[in-house]
Amino acid sequence: MSTDPYHVVQQEIQSSLQTASTLRASYLRIRSMAREGSEELLWARNELKATLAALEADLEDLEESVKVVESTGPRLFNLDDTEVTERRKYVGRVRREVESMRSEVEDTTVRAIHTNSQPGSSRSPLKPTNHLPRSNDQDEQSHWAREEQQLMIQEQERTMDSISGTLTTLAQQAGLMGQEIGQHNEMLGDLEQNVDRTDTKLNTAMRKMRKFIRETEETQSGWCISILVVVLLILLVAVILV
């Protein structure tokens, strides 16, 4: 049975969609409090745009997985037509949510550009009547933006701590494996030394065996010659006496 990639991609999209919803709420809150063109508002808008772009890329992958199931046949993935229809509806619903959030960001950007481009629409921040309220709004918005950034930094630190813990565990496992390999190498070294000593003893025993065989052969040859000489002498004496 083929592997269905739908659920893996769907989990990633759900996580990205929740992040985008949080960023959208933060963006709307900042927009209602900060002036157009402020650093906090630009940062929130860019973060939301980047998240929406990544979400759209994941959504394309999810839609591609649905198309694969439809083209190859739901039965191949142990699915029915109802499940495929539900997946198609889910893709459409998420796409509408993404388009809605993107239209909010783009409409706000267009209105801000149009307002700034109109004659007489610029407002001086140095007017005495608006100076104190604007300063208070900016202080409150800056404080909120710093808290938001601190939360993101803490989340990144927790992620880095998790990765660091995983790397530490892998390093410990690698160290244990290195120790075991070292012990095996020592055992192999001892075995090699024992084999060398055994080989030396065996060679010594073989040399002694060959020497013994050679000496035995020489001794037997000497006895045979002596016996033949004695027999010849006896025959010679017998011929002379006869």
Report yes or no: 97 and 51 within 8 Å, Cβ to Cβ: no
Give the position of tokens 């192999």. Answer: 188
Q: How far apart are CA 142 and CA 55, in angstroms?
A: 28
pLDDT at 3: 57
**CB under 8 Å to 117, separation ≥6 — which residues?**
none
Please tell me the pTM assigned to this model: 0.43
Supply the pLDDT for residue 242. Answer: 66
CA distances from 220 to 35, 36, 161, 215, 236 (A): 122, 121, 88, 9, 25
The reported pLDDT for the residue numbered 4 is 62
| Calpha distance 208→36 (Å, rounded) | 104
Per-residue confidence (pLDDT) for residue 141, from 0 to 100: 61
What is the DSSP track for 40-63?
A: HHHHHHHHHHHHHHHHHHHHHHHH
∠ CA 143-44-11, nearest 5°, is 115
Question: What secondary structure, in 3-state letters, does 77-116 show?
Answer: HCCCHHHHHHHHHHHHHHHHHHHHHHHHHHHHHHHHHHHH
**Could you give the dihedral angle defined by the CA atoms of residues 133, 137, 138 and 144, in that order, rounded to the nearest 10 degrees?**
160
What pLDDT does 135 receive? Answer: 52
**What's residue 120's pLDDT?**
44
The C-alpha atoms of residue 225 and residue 232 are separated, in whole angstroms, by 11
Looking at residue 104, what is its pLDDT? 82
Instruction: Determine the pLDDT at residue 70.
Output: 81
For residue 35, give the H/E element and its range: none
Give the type of residue at 91. Answer: V
Name, in order, each residue with C-beta under 8 angstroms of 79's C-beta and a sequence gap of 6 or more. Answer: 4, 69
The residue ranges of the chain whose pLDDT is under 50 are 1, 110, 112-134
Burial of 230 (0-12, 13-18, 19+ CB in 10 A): exposed
